[in-house]
Structure 1
Amino acid sequence: MNAYQGFAYYYDELMEEAPYKEWVLWIEKTLTANEVTAPHLLDVGCGTGTIMADLIKKGYRIDGVDASEEMLAVANEKMPKDQGSRLFCQDMRELEGLGVFDTVIVTCDSLNYLLTKKDVEKAFASFYSHLKTGGLLLFDVHSLSYMEDVLAGFQFAESLENRSCIWNCYNGEDPYSVEHELTFFIKEEDGRYRRFDEFHYQRTFSQQEYEDMLRAQGFKNVRVTADFTDQPPGQGSDRIFFTAIKKDLQ
């Protein structure tokens, strides 16, 4: 499921308006609310490591995993060399050998790249196996309405001095899914432009389906909020946030 290839090296520029600081604040508030102190975190789908780097600056111990070697190469440049943070190239559905963590985080709608309920279930089982008893799973996904009413039909174009980007989104074949088509034109040193194309597919499921899949894997105390707030999701919510606790099955 390596979706990011050439795109990885321009991802940060394209996503410079993303609310990374709000994700970091949500993570910190959730850890505090659950009385998690000095945690060892695993950032699944860490991408280019922006959230990891911010959390490291705040004193957290954190490792990252992503399916894209290209994204991890960018992330590696952001990691303080004296902090000992590890980066792994693995599929979130099949994590292995990473150790046991106090908290697993999956931010920036990374989970929406899993296209079937079976894949989501495998990922939840994978996260569960890498959490200590009482450990937290934190993740966010696109809401059904955001996928249908906002992303589908989304268009974006930008032309800068050294690169241009065209980004179009279309309804996917699956329910509540979208196809992202991205085209980049990058100016080379000789003045010519190099084109490369990216294709991404995302899908989401209902709040209830995510809750059911979490509980089926043994997670308890599932809490659901929306849009970086403490409020439950509503009809117009864009992003849904989940917190769940690993408790051994009796």
Structure 2
Amino acid sequence: MGVENIYRDFAYIYDKLMYDVDYKEWADYIEKIFQEYEVKPSLIADLGCGTGNFCVEMDKKGYEMIGIDSSLDMLNCAKKKSEGRNILYLNQDMTDFELYGTVDAIVSLMDSINYLTYIKDIKKLLKLVKNYLNPGGLFIFDINTPYKFKNILKDNVFYDVSDEITYVWQNNFDSKRKICEFDITFFVKEGQYYNRYDEVHYERCYEIEELKKVIVSSGMTLVNVYDSMTLNRPLPKSERVFFVCKNGG
């Protein structure tokens, strides 16, 4: 399991499903973290960039962006919305990416890390991050928390009905394997008819302490862990947390 080949038809309706995500808010938050630690990155890599929304928002702020994703369909969508902008997109796996040089900061957002269903893949990613991140540079990523998997996502069904697209999202969380299966069915209006698309995605539930240990063992410095979109410590019922790591002390 992993992130390869799971965003085929899904790529082209991804933005419609993510209509409620404020990417400007995400960009403002990441910039706030930069300011908190008095770093001024110029070149930033976005691992698991998807359809490029975050890259575009950061480009608007004047940052030079590299977007990396294993889905060619996602990147095709990203390139279309980035026309006229100087954003480099690379079709690479986030656990096996290769850059032309080092960067000032690296991010991996929207629970992309949860899509890495083996701890060995996170170790590979951290090794690459350390290799391509300039000394003192920050690596920022977020995860869906164990609380969210066990209490919000677990065995629940979500749906949304509209004229253009309807989806049914059914979850199955295996607490022993710590794997959540997302079984998603879409009905997308194309002309007079609706076409059906089916996707199955997987995310792994990682404990915060588990990831802390992996970060430290990678040689990176764990700077802080924050509750979603804040600079506050996580709460017992936090559904998303952000990790801030530094390359060096």
Task: State whether TM-score is above 0.5.
Answer: yes
Distance 2:222 2:151 in 1: 30
Q: 1:154 to 1:25 in 2, by over 3 A?
A: farther
Distance 1:97 1:21 in 2: 26
TM-score (norm 2): 0.93
Q: Secondary structure at the match of 2:33?
A: helix
Paired amino acid for 1:99:
G
Matched, 1:234 2:244: no
Matched, 1:57 2:70: no
Matched, 1:74 2:48: no
Matched, 1:48 2:57: no
Q: Secondary structure at the match of 2:95?
A: helix
Q: 1:69 to 1:218 in 2, by over 3 A?
A: same
Q: Secondary structure at the match of 1:94?
A: coil
Distance 2:92 2:131 in 1: 15
Structure 1 contact 211–222 (Cα < 8 Å) conserved? no
CA offsets 1:152-207 (integer angstroms, 9 cap, x no match): 12322223223321111111365433111111122333x23321100000012111
Paired amino acid for 2:158:
F
Distance 2:209 2:56 in 1: 33
Structure 1 contact 131–246 (Cα < 8 Å) conserved? yes
Q: Secondary structure at the match of 2:19?
A: coil
Q: Secondary structure at the match of 1:153?
A: coil
Paired amino acid for 2:72:
E
Paired amino acid for 1:17:
D
Paired amino acid for 2:195:
R
Distance 1:240 1:162 in 2: 32
What's the counterpart of residue 176 of structure 1? 178
Quote the sequence identity (%).
33
Distance 1:50 1:218 in 2: 31
Matched, 1:193 2:190: no
Distance 2:180 2:166 in 1: 22
CA offsets 1:222-245 (integer angstroms, 9 cap, x no match): 311112111111211111110011
Question: Following TM superposition, where does structure 1 have runs of at least 4 consecutive aligned residues deviating by more than 4 angstroms?
Answer: none
Q: 1:174 to 1:80 in 2, by over 3 A?
A: farther
Query: Which shows bigger deviation, 220-229 or 104-113?
Result: 220-229
Distance 1:163 1:235 in 2: 35
Number of aligned residue pairs: 246
Paired amino acid for 2:128:
S
Distance 1:246 1:50 in 2: 26
Q: 1:4 to 1:98 in 2, by over 3 A?
A: farther
Paired amino acid for 1:211:
K
TM-score (norm 1): 0.93
Structure 1 contact 136–246 (Cα < 8 Å) conserved? yes
What's the counterpart of residue 87 of structure 1? 89
Distance 2:12 2:174 in 1: 26
Paired amino acid for 2:32:
K
RMSD of Structure 2 on Structure 1 (CA): 1.6
Distance 1:161 1:108 in 2: 26
1:11 shift after superposition: 0.6
Q: Secondary structure at the match of 1:92?
A: coil
Structure 2 contact 234–241 (Cα < 8 Å) conserved? yes
Paired amino acid for 2:133:
L
Structure 1 contact 136–245 (Cα < 8 Å) conserved? yes
1:85 shift after superposition: 1.3
Paired amino acid for 1:7:
F
